Structure 1
Amino acid sequence: MIFHRIVLNNILSYKGEKTFDLVQSKPDKRRLVLVLGRNGFGKTSLLNAIKLLFLGSDDKGLRGGMTRGTYVLGDEDSRWSGIMNSQARREDETTCSVRIEIGPPEKVEFIAQRSWNLEGDSFGLENETLEVEVDGRTFAGEAAETRLDEILPRELVPFFFFDGEEIRHLAEASDIHRADAMERLLSLSFINGVEGELDGLIKAWRREELPEEVQAKIAAKEGDLETHEKLIEAINKKATSLISQRDELKETAESIYHKMDSLRKSGSLFDTASLDRQISELESELQREQDRLAYALAADAPLLANPGLVRACLDPLRSLVDQKSKAAESTLTTLYEVLPSRLFDEPPQPRTNLSDDQKRFFQNKLKSILDTFGLHDEDTDSIIEGLDLIRSRSLLDQFLGINNSIKAIREERARQLKEISRKKMQLEDKRAERRESQYGSSEAAGQYKQLETESADVHQQIGKLEAEISGKNEHRQLKTDEIQDIEKHIKELERQVCDAGKAGKRLSIAIGLKKSFEEYRRQRREAKRKKIEETINTHFKCLMSGHRLIDEIKVDNDFYLTFFDRSGNQIGHSTISHGMRQLAVTAMLWALKDVSGKSLPIIVDTPLARIDRENQENLLLNYYPNAAEQVLILATDSEIDKRKFELIISQVDRVYRLDNPDGQTTSPVQISGTDYQSISWEAVING
């Protein structure tokens, strides 16, 4: 498979429709396409445009922390102009697109075009479309995405279109879908489909053996199961939408944070320690005032708000106190007369007689103790009448005090509120002064304050979405548990079969076949893994000269790389140089191409990054001419200089030079001729 054409229209640095014509002149001999240009001339734009076609603008790796809308439309504050060519946008162009034509060297079999309609200032899913044409049939929407994914699973896009400086990360990058994608690339996934079909047959044949009443029960349970699964699907759809909204808000929050950080860093540097101390002192004073007012209001606010009720309570309280005083006086008089004599004169008596002075002392003490206590009336339904004398007097005193000073108390509380308001204003003024001193101008300080407000609002929205997502997760888990119960019940019903019956033989065959396919897939997968591991090590030794820190590379079941030295000790990724990791992953890409038997075109930007001279030559002579049926090398004149150009010229099919006089309008210029061995390096560089 090769690219026959790549057509870019108003995308990134390419203004208008620009075509790379890549039909090979000598497919068996010349597989390299050189795209040469200075930094900023459009090489990375070409790479990213192809990634955009395969991944779409929703891919977070492409967006680099920006929201989808910001990535597509641009953001002046972040100096990102969006995916549409900025000059075309200024000229009121509204569409941009990427188109590829792929197939074997002799014909085009697959055409894909992803387009963006950017009318207005907002971006929605409907503004991005994908169309795919396969053998004359046109697909759109999800069907088009499926067809595109069949050509190259999106999880494997970084293995075929990559920046040489970043490729080393593929050695350790985690992706839960990588193993499945690798199985698809290695033509193992069809076995999963066969196993699925056999599962369906086994299930159906087992059912045929069951009595009709059991089958009816199972059918009812399966109806419940289908209802639950649809509900979970709806929950997942809603949760996915909520998560997408939350992630976009998080990216917005991150963008706001960077803007705030930029204001902080760009502001004049003043000594703000004194202002910080003043702010801290004001915050402490304000907190103390608020605490004092809160404590006071908790006690007297109801009474201050109802002065009429306070006055209405005074007369009943006076009557109550007078009544209880008279009753207490009578009772206490009787106690004073009776209690001392009964206490000291009536038996039983202590063994040691008290003296008259001791008796008088205890009599007086007893009277003084009695004087301090009020006396309770009998039980009553009235709250006030149920109070004893002491509490009645205390309540009356409080109400009299409040009634006499209610105006003064109100004025004091109002004064406290004004003082709190004054301190709040002082604090806000000091904070504004602090911001202005930090950011160098009142305008910058105002921008920072506005960003703080926006940040608080965004984080509040994130909090609400997190709560909704949590609720959806709980609901999903509840329904998942119910599904497990239903499935368990169905299995219990299926176990009620009494004999093998008419389906016994075919059922036995199907189960045996399924086990055979499972074992076949396991063996094929293991054989492919071992072959990839063996091929990686062969290619790595071909690419890596003069260094044997890495003696062996092993591939685990999920197709991740582990490195070992000559003693068999595992080598940590952090101890391996960037260049060496780049060569290891390059060896893996080479091995995948060899073992899978699939030949997809490869595009590599910065092809020789961090690689020393000797190993650069190994890459140019050994890997790139054999990496695929077609390899597009995007390089500067310092990466592919005259010496390196002459090394690979016999493998080169086409050469493009990128012109970009203003930094915004890249044009690919094909160097004329088909025999590049007759063209000087100077002609290639200078046109």
Structure 2
Amino acid sequence: MKFVSFDIENMFAYNGTCSVDLSETQDGERNIVLIKGRNGAGKTSLLNSAKLLFAGAQDESLRRVGFSRTALTDKQYVLGQPGRWSGVFNKTARQQGHNRASVSLCWTEGGVVHRARRTFVGQKSFSAYSELVEFGPVSSPLDGNAAEDALQAMLPRELVPFFFFDGEQVQSLADAEIGREAGEIERLLGLHFVAHLIDKVNDDANRRSRARLPVDVMKSVVEAENAAREARANEAVQARARVAAEEELLDLEARRARLDGERQRLRSGTLSESEAKRFHDRLEVLATQRQTLADELAERLPLEIVFRTQPHLVDEAFAVLDRQTTADASLAGRLHAELPAMTVRSLTTIEDPVTLNAKQQTDLQNDIRESLRTLGVVSGDQHPVLASLSAKKTKALRDRFLVWRSRGAADFAEERAQLRRMRELVTETRRLRKELDEAELSTDEARARYEEITAEITRIGEAIRDAMQRSAKALVDEKGFAHEAVGHDERAVQEMKEYKVSMELDEGYRFALRAKRALERYLELRRSRIRQSVEDRVNQKVAILLAPSELVKSVRLDGQFIMSYFDQDGEEVSRHSISAGMRQLIAMSMLWALKEEAARSIPVIVDTPLGRIDSTNRNLLMRDYFPEAGAPLILLPTDTEFTEIADDLLGEHIRRRYRIDNEGGETAKLMPVEL
């Protein structure tokens, strides 16, 4: 395969047809196409177009846009949703009457030009759309399901993130703690078909084994297996929700970091050293006062707040305790013992006497005793609620309530004053910080932009908290469904246990089991060998990209391809002690190793390629990683990422350069730049 071009027509930010020339990128060392553009010019549109070509609008990760927790529907994603998402169709092209948007990849194979193309056609004034896929020789391409299957064989949609990615987001590969990429990695490395075959053989074994089961047992087994399948389906749903939330979280954090950097750049640093010191000294004093006040409130309020704020409950509790400690216990006992019977007897002596049967007499006496208890006249030494307390402890509790009763209002007034003071300290701190920020903003325009960015960062912070909560909930639910599925599996096994000997008499069942075990041994052996090969490759790349670091010197992969990190002494390093930039380098090492192991010929596209990487490691990436990362490799940096120094380091590997021109945000064009 020799790649020819990557083409976009009327899609996202691109109006008209734009083509990236990929020819000659697989010949020799000039494998890189460099496409520069400012933020918002259309770099991410190029990346998303490539994802859309292979994944289609059905891919949920593509349809998760903005800060919302829910993905757009296919229709909303393609046609747009007012106020949230503009859609796949370029806005300017739509206004000009164009109703087609497409993305395609062209290559030659055996001298024949091939093309993979996905086209969206707007219908009925863009109230509906159709999606068309073509694949194969341009003169006689496949279409429909056949084309979709061929496209998925070239690059399955779950593997798209390995080839088209944002440099700042790949650290999710390094952050994985529970094997979220294991399935995708196995498919990338050609192991997926073995697992699929094992499932098929297992299904056949189960079908044969059940032929000897009684009908009622068969019904119970099927019900248990159906319940297990449903639990695993729910587990998969929660796993996808967790992964989506984690990816959204990484995206939000990257956006917040970029905005925070822009906000810091707006500050001109015009304050004098003495003025700045005055602000910071006052902020330190306020912080100390807040901490002292917080400690006092934390010590007092949690234990006594209910007694400060509910005086009527304090009064009622005190009354019960007071009666308990001052009442004549012997009198209370006599009342409970004698009053009910005396009342019954008195009914027979009144004029027009009342005669009760035995049950009525018992009920009346019980009602009288209950009335006495309600009024606080309790037979015995203790109120039922206080039965476990000694007389001494009851008196101490009564004295404590007496203090709350007499001092509650005054104490609460004092604590309210402390809370008001805390609010004043917080307000003053915020005011000083705002004044400090505004004092270093030199123009009204900068001040307005600063406030706009601050508001946006606040919204992103709320979205980050929401994503973290959703991720945590999905993880708990995922584990819960996994446990539930295991329980149903065990129930099915238990149901069949009694008939196991009979089932094993079936020759076909025994053969299927032998085939399944052989395939499982083969899969484990292949996985072990590939895992070791990938681990060796990763460590080769880590030795290159993390050479200046003393923190991480090697990586190990477990059976699920989860990475653990080790320093030069072989001691394990916590992933939480590794910076975001270093995790990005580790993730790129993994992607580099996986691509070599998979030996799959697909262009690689990297948006924001240098992300949070410092200058030393940027040089390593440009010198060692990018020349090997893809053939072709399309890099989408901002002007500030790729300086003249970067161009010099990477220059001999760059086959073509483009600049994105986009005046109004909806008219992006690719402009060739002379080498």
TM range (shorter): 0.5 to 0.7
What's 2:116 paired with?
A: 111
Distance between the aligned counterparts of 2:654 and 2:112, measured in 1? 20
Inter-partner Cα distance in structure 1 for 2:576 and 2:487: 43
* Aligned with 1:656 (options 655, 658, 665): 658
Distance of 1:65 and 1:77 partners within structure 2: 12
Residue 94 of structure 2 is aligned to residue 89 of structure 1 = yes
| Aligned equivalents of 2:90, 2:174: Cα separation in 1 | 34
Q: Is residue 535–residue 591 contact of structure 1 (8 Å, CA) maintained in 2?
A: yes
Match of 1:496? 502
Tell me which of 130, 138, 143 is aligned to 2:142.
138
Structure-1 residue corresponding to 2:181: 178
Question: Unaligned regions of 5+ residues in structure 1, if any?
Answer: 208-213, 249-365, 381-386, 388-465, 672-682
CA contact (8 A) 1:529 1:555 kept: yes
Is contact 1:155-1:177 (8 Å) kept?
Answer: no
Cα gap change, 1:3 to 1:527, in 2 (>3 Å): same
Residue matched to 2:567: 565
Return the offset for 1:614.
Answer: 3.3
Question: Matched residues in 1 for 2:488 and 2:80: separation?
Answer: 46
> What secondary structure, in the 3-state scheme, does the structure 1 residue paired with 2:634 have?
strand
Query: CA–CA distance in 2 between the matches of 1:36 and 1:163?
Result: 14
Q: 1:181 to 1:548 in 2, by over 3 A?
A: same
Q: Quick check: 2:163–2:603 contact (8 Å CA) kept in 1?
A: yes
Residues 588, 34 of structure 1: CA spacing in aligned structure 2 closer, same or farther, 3 A cutoff?
Answer: same
Instruction: Indicate whether 1:59 and 2:63 are aligned.
Output: no
Identity in percent: 30
Equivalent of 1:192, from 184, 187, 195?
195
Q: Given the alignment, which residue of 554, 579, 582 partners 2:581?
A: 579
Structure 1 residue 46, shift from structure 2 partner: 0.6
Change (3 A) 1:152 1:176: farther
Q: TM-score normalised to the size of structure 2?
A: 0.56
CA deviation profile, 1:426-470 (whole Å, cap 9, x unmatched): xxxxxxxxxxxxxxxxxxxxxxxxxxxxxxxxxxxxxxxx9xxx9
Q: After the TM superposition, which residues 605-644 of structure 1 pair with which residues of structure 2 at under 5 Å, given as runs?
A: 605-644=607-646
The change in CA–CA distance for 1:220 and 1:647 in structure 2 (over 3 A counts) is same
2:47 maps to a residue whose letter is L
Shift in Å, 1:641: 3.3
CA distance in 1, matches of 2:82, 2:355: 82
Displacement, 1:631? 0.4
For the Cα contact (< 8 Å) 1:114–1:130, is it kept in 2?
yes
Question: In the alignment, is residue 165 of structure 1 matched against residue 203 of structure 2?
Answer: no
- 3-state DSSP of counterpart to 1:191: helix
Alignment-derived partner of residue 597 in structure 2: 595
**With structure 1 as the length reference, what TM-score do the two structures score?**
0.55
Provide the C-alpha distance between the structure 1 equivalents of 2:529 and 2:660, rounded to a whole number of angstroms.
44
Give CA-to-partner distance per residue, 1:57-91, whole Å, 9 cap, x none: 4424642444515554445545x433332223344
Equivalent AA in structure 2 for residue 150 of structure 1: A
Q: CA deviation at 1:231?
A: 9.6
Could you report, residue by residue, the CA deviation over 1:161-185 in whole angstroms, capped at 9, with x for unpaired residues?
A: 1122222232114676521211111
- Structure-2 change in CA distance of 1:231 and 1:567 (3 Å): closer
The one-letter code sitting in structure 2 at the alignment partner of 1:516 is A
Residue type of the alignment partner of 1:651: H
Per-residue deviation, 1:130: 5.1
218 and 112 in structure 1: CA distance in 2 versus 1, 3 angstrom threshold: farther
> 1:471-518: CA deviations, max 9, x gaps?
xx99x9999988876665556445226968xx4xx8767655543332
Q: SS at 1:14's partner residue? A: coil
- SS for the counterpart of 1:113 is strand
Q: What residue number does 2:388 align with? A: none
Call closer, same or farther: CA 1:128–1:243 in 2, change over 3 Å: farther
Q: Which piece of structure 1 moves more, 234-243 or 48-57?
A: 234-243
Written as runs of structure 1 = structure 2, the 5 A alignment for 1:279-678 is 489=495, 492-493=498-499, 495-496=501-502, 503=507, 511-671=513-673
Q: Conserved in 1, the CA contact under 8 Å of 2:118 and 2:134?
A: yes
Letter in 1 for 2:669: S
Q: Which residue of 1 aligns with 2:450?
A: none
Partner residue of 1:256?
none
Residues 231, 484 of structure 2: 8 Å contact kept: no
User: Residue type matched to 2:657 in 1?
Assistant: V
Distance 1:108 1:539 in 2: 35
1:618 partner SS: helix
Alpha-carbon distance, 1:242 to partner: 13
- Do the aligned residues in 1 keep the contact of 2:168 with 2:611 (CA within 8 Å)? yes
**Separation in 2 of the partners of 1:244 and 1:514?**
28
Counterpart of 1:163, as a letter, is D
User: How far, CA to CA, are the matches of 1:19 and 1:156 in structure 2?
Assistant: 24
Seen in structure 2, the aligned counterparts of structure 1 residues 625 and 223 have a Cα distance that, compared at 3 Å, is same
- How many Å separate the matches in 2 of 1:144 and 1:29? 33
CA deviation vs aligned residue, 1:193-214 (integer Å, no higher than 9, x gap) = 443455466567x76xxxxxx9
AA aligned to 2:161 is: P
Does the 8 A contact of 2:165 with 2:607 survive in 1?
yes
Question: How far apart, CA to CA, are the structure 2 residues paired with 1:227 and 1:131?
Answer: 40
Q: In 2, are the aligned partners of 1:31 and 1:625 still within 8 Å (CA)?
A: yes
Shift of residue 557 of structure 1? 2.0
1:160: how far off?
1.6
Report the equivalent of 1:39.
39
CA distance in 1, matches of 2:486, 2:518: 31
Structure 2 vs 1, CA of residues 550 and 499 (structure 1 numbering), >3 Å: closer, same or farther? Answer: closer
Instruction: Report the 3-state secondary structure (helix = DSSP H, G, I; strand = E; otherwise coil) of the residue aligned with 1:129.
Output: strand
CA-CA distance at 1:47 after TM superposition: 0.9
Tell me, in whole angstroms, the C-alpha distance in 1 between the residues paired with 2:350 and 2:238.
67
Moved more, 220-229 or 4-13: 220-229
Q: Which runs of 5+ in 2 are unaligned?
A: 245-341, 358-363, 365-472
Q: Hey, what does 2:466 align to over in structure 1?
A: none
How many Å apart are 1:378 and its aligned residue? 6.7
Rounded to whole Å, the distance in 2 between the matches of 1:128 and 1:626 is 39
Equivalence for 1:155: 158
Inter-partner Cα distance in structure 2 for 1:102 and 1:218: 59
Partners of 2:227 and 2:576 lie apart in 1 by: 46
Compared with structure 1, are the counterparts of its residues 494 and 572 closer, same or farther at alpha carbon in structure 2 (3 Å cutoff)? closer
Shift of the 239–180 alpha-carbon distance from structure 1 to 2, 3 Å rule, reads: closer
* Partner SS for 1:647: helix
Alignment partners' CA distance in 1, 2:346 and 2:204: 97
- Determine helix, strand or coil for the equivalent of 2:10: strand
List per-residue Cα deviations over 1:253-277 (Å, max 9, x = no partner).
xxxxxxxxxxxxxxxxxxxxxxxxx
SS at match of 2:664: coil
Query: Does structure 1 residue 100 correspond to structure 2 residue 105?
Result: yes
Separation in structure 1 between the aligned mates of residue 22 and residue 119 of structure 2, nearest angstrom: 19
Structure 2 counterpart of 1:5: 5
After superposition, the Cα gap between the structure-2 partners of 1:202 and 1:374, relative to the gap in structure 1 and judged at 3 Å, is: same
Residue 498 to residue 227, structure 1, CA distance change in 2 (3 Å): closer
Partners of 2:596 and 2:559 in 1: CA distance: 19
Q: What letter is aligned with 2:162?
A: F
Structure 2 distance, partners of 1:243, 1:641, is: 40
Amino acid in the other structure paired with 1:154: R
Q: Secondary structure at the match of 2:168?
A: coil
User: Which amino acid in the other structure matches residue 40 of structure 1?
Assistant: G
Amino acid at match of 2:142: T
Asked if 2 retains the 8 angstrom alpha-carbon contact of 1:95 and 1:118, the reply is no
Mark the structure with the bigger radius of gyration: 1
Q: Distance in 2 between matches of 1:218 and 1:104?
A: 58
Specify the code of the residue in structure 1 equivalent to 2:607: D
Instruction: Please state how far the C-alpha of 1:3 moved relative to its aligned partner.
Output: 4.8
